[in-house]
Amino acid sequence: MPSTLVRSLASLLLLLVAVTGLRAQDAQPPKIDFPAPSPAATLKQRVGLTDIEVNYSRPGVKDRQIFGGLVPYNQVWRTGANAATKIKFSTAVKLNGTPVAAGTYELFSIPNPNEWTIIVHKDSSDWGAYRYDPKNDVVRFAAKTIALPNLIETFAIGVSDIRDESAILYLAWEKTRVPIKVEVDVTSVVLPQIEAVMASSAEKKPYFQAAMFYLDRDHDLAKAAEWMDAAATAQPDGFYIYYHRARLLAKLGKKDEAIASAQKSIEIAQKVGGPAKDEYLRLNEALLNKLKLQF
């Protein structure tokens, strides 16, 4: 077959495909993109060394009575809308003092006016709470409610009051807030790591970070003081190091040395300057005033 004829047939075939595709596209009905009545949401938050993830849907009040109405009291609720709310912990945690292993779970609840029952349930990928089975409960525990002065239109799950080893996981909707204390283990994980690194032959060691970890937990303050001194020696212009060294010495009851370290921090901050200068001047002055009152 001559090459010109082949090219002509190929061009005709491409044209037919294009026309057919256009006609098929033209034949499709128009689409409507409706807004979701209860939009899906994902919460991700790290607390200490633990990653928390919550996947849920967020219904609105929409001029309805929620608790004791749309959401009946003393009945299992999906803790959101649509599919059952899922919660995931990357490590073991405690929820209001109740141990929960690492894993992915469904989060159900039983609302009541003054106290809710929080249910951590095996993940069954259920829609709603229609097939909820108490045999699959991992744990149940109580959580007190807090009455809010203002209306929260959209149901929310959040994390607040984050510290190294704890936080508050809260449920909030209408005029009700339900706080759940989350506790995670950091100290027993990090302490062996610190000790291993500090005992190693590593050329650079995290003297300041290690001293701060001990200081914040009142753990072996004498050793923390040695590391803080090493950090100050390695970074003589680190006015923030001298401030925390003063805090540490104060905890050890060494008033004169603590005052001298705070004054040293002020002296260096005034000389070095920088964006943190004013902050550390205030911190040191407050510490000096506190030392004068306490001793």
Residue 34 falls within a domain, yes or no?
Answer: no
Domain boundary among 139, 162, 184: 184
Specify the higher pLDDT residue, 1 or 212: 212
Q: 197 and 160 in one domain?
A: no
Q: 152 and 62 in one domain?
A: yes
What percentage of the chain carries pLDDT values higher than 70? Answer: 90
Range of the domain at 166: 40-184
Q: 116 and 248 in one domain?
A: no
Q: 175 and 140 in one domain?
A: yes
Position 1 scores a pLDDT of: 46
Q: 135 and 69 in one domain?
A: yes
C-alpha span between 269 and 223 (Å, rounded): 26
Q: 217 and 162 in one domain?
A: no
Q: 258 and 240 in one domain?
A: yes
Q: 213 and 117 in one domain?
A: no
Average pLDDT value for residue range 129-143: 92
Q: 223 and 144 in one domain?
A: no
Give tens-digit pLDDT for 159-188: 999 999 999 999 999 999 999 999 999 999
Among the listed ranges 38-42, 129-133, 149-153, 262-266, which one has the minimum average pLDDT value?
Answer: 129-133
Q: 177 and 192 in one domain?
A: no
Q: How many domains does the chain have?
A: 2
Give tens-digit pLDDT for 17-45: 555 554 545 567 899 999 999 999 999 99
Amino acid at 23: R
Q: 144 and 219 in one domain?
A: no
Average pLDDT value for residue range 260-287: 93
Residue 26 falls within a domain, yes or no?
Answer: no
